[in-house]
Amino acid sequence: MSAAEKMSRRDEMETLLPFYLNGSLEGSELEAVEEWLATDPAALAALGEAEAEFSGASAANEAIRPPADALSRFARALDAEAGPARAQAGSSWLAQAWSRFMAVPVGVAWAAAAVLLALIAVQSLVQPGGKGKDFEIAGAEDDLTKMPFALVRFKPDAKMSDIAVFLDANKLKIIGGPTADGIFRLGIPAANAADYTKQLGLIAAQPFADTVIEGRKPADGG
């Protein structure tokens, strides 16, 4: 082996030593360094020098002290962040509905979008700040909060497009929910109790309806 080749190998080994020390070297390069350390008398001294550099670099970095209040300031900045649209934990009904919505035909997409917007608004209200409440109201309008309603749970395999078309055709609105067990409050634009009962029957007859519970009836009580 010529002097030039020896120097080249030494240079290569010196280049790899920091990675040998930090434990990230592997494969043929690790074997080469280990073989060098085992056979070249100069290698152990070189390793000692690299260890000194290791200590020097660590000391130079550790001398920099982050501000003590960094976490509290970051926490405030984080609280101000809305964050991107995120997948809900697990496979929630809304997440499944959204997935199905993405595949609905264009012709019904607008209706589904209207419902989804309502659902997303509702969903946003029942996220962390709304835990523990039975219902959250999608809008502040009095006509929504006072209107007759029913409690409805949809089947897990319900298609968003089917629900959207049905709600739109019957002027029904989702005005609250879902609760933890997936129940929505559905506004019923019924003028009287008889009409209310009729509409409840219609909802219950839909293939996507799982549970329909009577809520507030119109003023005449029925």
Q: Which residues contact other proteins (rule: CB under 8 A)?
A: 10-11, 14-19, 21-25, 42, 45-46, 49-50, 52-62, 64, 66-67, 70-71, 73-75, 77-79, 81, 83-84, 86-89, 127
Q: Closest distance between other proteins and the C-beta of residue 67, in Å? A: 6
* Dihedral over Cα of 12, 18, 21, 27: its sign: negative
Q: Closest distance between other proteins and the C-beta of residue 35, in Å? A: 18
Which amino acid, 107? G
Phi then psi for residue 187, to 5 deg, are: -70, 130
Choice between 52 and 213, CB closer to other proteins: 52
Q: Is 135 helix (H, G, I), strand (E, B) or coil?
A: coil
Question: 17: Cβ–Cβ under 8 A, 6 or more apart, which residues?
Answer: 33, 46, 47, 50
Choice between 57 and 102, CB closer to other proteins: 57
Cα–Cα distances in angstroms (integers) from residue 54 to residues 10, 20, 58, 127, 130, in the given order: 19, 11, 6, 48, 51
Q: Closest distance between other proteins and the C-beta of residue 53, in Å? A: 6
Q: Closest distance between other proteins and the C-beta of residue 54, in Å? A: 5
